[in-house]
């Protein structure tokens, strides 16, 4: 019955909004949302990881406050390369290829050891407890309130045990093109769900960004930049009732002269991401299209943060195998919250079959709602479960709270801002600098011609670095470079 009701309710959803944040595991953010039980695979509080040669390290929670020291755990940033993630999952770097058959499931035993190993190549003090930390609902009240008011899924895994870029590629294109890490930084040639909207005669989609959109790294979107808009435009569209059919929101990865990053990438302050979630929900809730909207809050990958749930095997996106990894395993479990007036309060969402949700479930659900989008993009989204089974109410009666907010908003001081700008870039920020360098300047030129010309250049020089080695480039310099290249790119769109 739930499936039938979900299918009916799905047809009542005209506006899909996906907010994808950065680098947090399910256990880190929502492991204590409910008591661990058969219907909620949360933390019992006894989970641990080896810490050779010392005693095991058990999961823990800092004093339940929202101080900066607490809300930036783990600090420094954990490892998130493909090799790091394999070690975190298996407790060894020697993972066979193709992936070992299951059972047995991997032990999730290498988080502490891998975190400590980062000290060999990165500055900072790596304490073994940091990586095993989790937040409680009073520390992350926005996502926790929405998860309890609507639906939380404890069966949503990152698309692959890889870094940010491959996982973000999967949510747009159902493939990473064989890439395990952010690097190499060249654009990915792959058909996206946005291109399917264009081909279906429904070019009513937008990507909203904080400072720059990682989605620019998809070559098929380079000439479609008129669909990219700053986050403030999302707030305006929600208020005016002019939301597109599909909205994808990216956070601030750098911050600016007066703001800090709100992507929740460790060690960025989690409360700032809470404020972004609240802003997004509040705008939709107050807008005239609320009862026709489904908001999905997910994270690209776990970012090295501990999770106890072993990732199962996955369907590779292509029958043509890629090496050294064939994308035949999911990544670590990530937080997933679904929000709509058609979702019953307190829903604990799981797929109807044995295949878990992953990022390509977004694509599969959009294709189910809009058949004109066509068949699967790859074998991965062909096998992905849709999440319309969350929509069990016959009418949009669970309208939710009129407004949600953090308990203690973050108001950065000039010293906070200066310190953040002086930090060395993390891997994601470094990758975005390379991405910005690939964008053409369209000032004084025909935008389409300039974009197509640049795309041909990039394809011809795919193996060449886009910018010189950056060393310890600081966030402030990187952010200024990214803003300048982004604005130069968009300038041709705004010429009279």
Q: Classify residue 189 by burial, with Cβ atoms within 10 Å: 0-12, 13-18, 19+.
A: middle
Cα dihedral angle (258, 263, 268, 272), rounded to 10 degrees?
60
Position 409 in a domain: no
Residues paired with residue 309 on neighbouring β-strands, in sequence order: none
360-369 helix and 164-173 helix, angle to the nearest 10 degrees: 10
Residues 149 and 205 reside in one and the same domain: yes
CA gyration radius, the chain: 21
Residues 228 and 195 reside in one and the same domain: yes
Position 462 in a domain: yes
What is the bridge-based pairing of β-strands 347-349 and 336-339?
unpaired
Position 427 in a domain: yes
CA dist., res. 278 & res. 9, Å (int): 25
Residues 253 and 165 reside in one and the same domain: yes
Write out the chain's pLDDT in tens, 496 residues.
345 566 678 999 999 999 999 999 999 999 999 999 999 999 999 999 999 889 999 999 998 889 999 999 999 999 999 999 999 999 998 887 777 788 889 999 999 999 999 998 888 889 999 999 999 999 999 999 999 999 999 999 999 999 999 999 999 999 999 999 999 888 999 999 999 999 999 999 999 999 999 999 999 999 999 999 999 999 999 999 999 999 999 999 998 888 999 999 999 999 999 999 999 999 999 999 999 999 999 999 999 999 999 999 999 999 999 999 999 999 999 999 999 999 999 999 999 999 999 999 999 999 999 999 999 999 999 999 999 999 999 999 999 999 999 988 999 999 999 999 999 999 999 999 999 998 988 887 888 998 888 888 887 765 454 555 566 689 999 999 999 999 999 998 875 5
CA dist., res. 454 & res. 314, Å (int): 35
Position 85 in a domain: no
CA dist., res. 109 & res. 310, Å (int): 10
Residue that has been written with the tokens 């400590």 in this structure: 116
Residues 456 and 317 reside in one and the same domain: no
Which ranges in 174-269 belong to alpha helices (H)?
Answer: 193-199, 231-240
Asked if 337 and 152 touch (Cβ cutoff 8 Å), the reply is yes
Of 294, 300, 269, the closest CA to residue 21 belongs to 300
* Domain end point (choices 357, 390, 423): 390
Position 400 in a domain: no
- Which residues span the domain enclosing 191? 2-47+132-390
Residues 174 and 33 reside in one and the same domain: yes
Task: Look up residue 75 and give its DSSP letter.
Answer: -
Residues 355 and 468 reside in one and the same domain: no
Of 140, 209, 208, 149, the closest CA to residue 405 belongs to 140
Residues 360 and 478 reside in one and the same domain: no
Sign of CA dihedral 26, 27, 30, 33: positive
Q: How many domains does the chain have?
A: 2
Residues 200 and 318 reside in one and the same domain: yes
Asked if 188 and 343 touch (Cβ cutoff 8 Å), the reply is no
Of 335, 384, 347, the closest CA to residue 364 belongs to 384
Of 245, 249, 251, the closest CA to residue 196 belongs to 245
* Domain end point (choices 324, 355, 390): 390
Position 103 in a domain: no
Residues 381 and 249 reside in one and the same domain: yes
The pTM assigned to this predicted structure is 0.96
Asked if 59 and 132 touch (Cβ cutoff 8 Å), the reply is yes
Task: Look up residue 307 and give its DSSP letter.
Answer: -
Residues 378 and 438 reside in one and the same domain: no
Position 76 in a domain: no
Residues 384 and 465 reside in one and the same domain: no
Residues 330 and 427 reside in one and the same domain: no
Q: % helix / strand / coil in the chain, to the nearest 5?
A: 35, 10, 50
CA dist., res. 25 & res. 108, Å (int): 13
Whichever domain contains 41, its CATH number is 3.40.720.10
Position 107 in a domain: no
């Amino acid at each position: 019955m739930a499936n039938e009701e979900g299918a009916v309710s799905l047809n009542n959803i005209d506006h899909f909004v996906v907010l994808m944040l950065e680098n947090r595991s399910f256990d880190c953010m929502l492991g204590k949302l409910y008591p661990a039980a058969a219907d909620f695979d949360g933390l019992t509080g006894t989970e641990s990881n080896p810490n050779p040669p010392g005693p095991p390290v058990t999961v823990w929670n800092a004093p339940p406050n929202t101080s900066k020291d607490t809300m930036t755990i783990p600090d420094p940033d954990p490892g998130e390369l493909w090799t790091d993630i394999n070690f975190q999952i298996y407790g060894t770097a020697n993972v066979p290829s193709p992936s070992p058959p299951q059972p047995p499931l991997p032990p999730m035993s290498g988080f502490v050891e891998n975190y400590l190993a980062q000290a060999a190549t990165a500055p900072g003090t790596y304490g073994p407890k940091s990586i095993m930390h989790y937040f409680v609902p009073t520390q992350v009240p926005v996502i926790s309130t929405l998860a309890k008011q609507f639906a939380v899924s404890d069966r949503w895994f990152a698309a692959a045990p890889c870094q940010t870029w491959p996982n973000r590629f999967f949510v747009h294109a159902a493939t990473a093109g064989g890439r395990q890490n952010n690097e190499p930084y060249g654009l990915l040639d792959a058909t996206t769900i946005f291109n399917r909207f264009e081909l279906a005669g429904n070019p009513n989609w937008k990507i909203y960004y904080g400072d720059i959109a990682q989605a620019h790294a998809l070559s098929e979107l380079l000439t479609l930049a008129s669909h990219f808009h700053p986050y403030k435009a999302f707030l305006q569209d929600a208020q005016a009732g002019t939301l597109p059919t599909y909205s994808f929101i990216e956070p601030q990865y750098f911050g600016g002269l007066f703001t800090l990053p709100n992507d929740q990438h460790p060690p960025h302050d989690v409360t700032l991401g809470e404020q972004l979630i609240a802003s997004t929900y509040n705008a939709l809730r107050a807008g005239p299209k609320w009862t026709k909207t489904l908001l999905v809050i997910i994270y690209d990958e776990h970012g090295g943060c501990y999770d106890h749930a072993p990732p199962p095997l996955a369907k590779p996106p292509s029958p043509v195998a890629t090496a050294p990894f064939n994308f035949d395993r999911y990544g670590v479990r990530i937080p997933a919250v679904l929000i709509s007036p058609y979702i019953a309060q307190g829903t604990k969402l799981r797929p109807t079959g044995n295949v878990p949700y992953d990022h390509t479930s977004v694509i599969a659900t959009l294709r189910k709602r809009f058949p004109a989008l066509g068949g699967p993009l790859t074998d991965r989204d062909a096998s992905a479960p849709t999440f319309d089974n969350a929509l069990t109410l016959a009418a949009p009666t669970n309208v939710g709270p009129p407004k949600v907010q953090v308990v203690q908003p973050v108001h950065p001081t000039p010293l906070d801002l200066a310190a953040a700008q002086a930090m060395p870039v993390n891997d994601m920020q470094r990758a975005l600098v390379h991405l910005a360098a690939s964008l053409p300047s369209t000032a004084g030129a025909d935008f389409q011609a300039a974009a197509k010309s640049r795309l041909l250049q990039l394809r011809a020089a795919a193996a060449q670095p886009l910018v010189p080695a950056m060393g310890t480039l600081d966030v402030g310099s990187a952010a200024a470079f990214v803003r300048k290249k982004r604005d130069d790119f968009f300038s041709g769109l705004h010429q009279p």
